[in-house]
Amino acid sequence: MGNEMLNGVINSQTLAEGSAGTHKGSQPSLGQAFEKLFAETETALQQADETVLEANTGGDVDVHEMMIAMEKADMSLRLLVQVRNKTVDAYKEIMRMQV
């Protein structure tokens, strides 16, 4: 996933939607943005698990629905890992700065 796409997803989706619970005009904290991203990823992973389980137990699930749920979970997890990597890199860069 390219940096432009990653930045666009984080800025437009996570941060914009995360501001719903904050005061008007204020930005959500970084912690709130991460909490939202973790929650969305967990939800996508649970939905994929439930869809696969239902398909394997003979439920009324199309293969397409199952694949879409699995891809959503995969993309959410990849995004979460990339955000974590960028955050760790930023932290390391800050720690290298001399005061």
Can you give the pLDDT at residue 92?
Answer: 96
Can you give the pLDDT at residue 19?
Answer: 45
- pTM (whole model) above 0.95: no
* Domain housing 83: 3-13+30-96
Residue type, 17: E
Give the distance, in angstroms, between the CA of residue 32 and the centroid of all CA atoms in the same chain. Answer: 13
84 part of a folded domain:
yes
Can you give the pLDDT at residue 30?
Answer: 84
Q: Say if residue 2's pLDDT is above 80.
A: no
Over range 22-36, report the average pLDDT: 79
Residue type, 10: I
Sequence-ordered alpha helix ranges (H) in 1-99: 3-9, 16-18, 30-56, 63-96
73 part of a folded domain:
yes
51 part of a folded domain:
yes
Q: Say if residue 68's pLDDT is above 50.
A: yes
Average pLDDT value for the chain:
81
Q: Is residue 9 very low, low, confident or very high in pLDDT (cuts 50, 70, 90)?
A: very low
What is the number of structural domains in the chain? 1
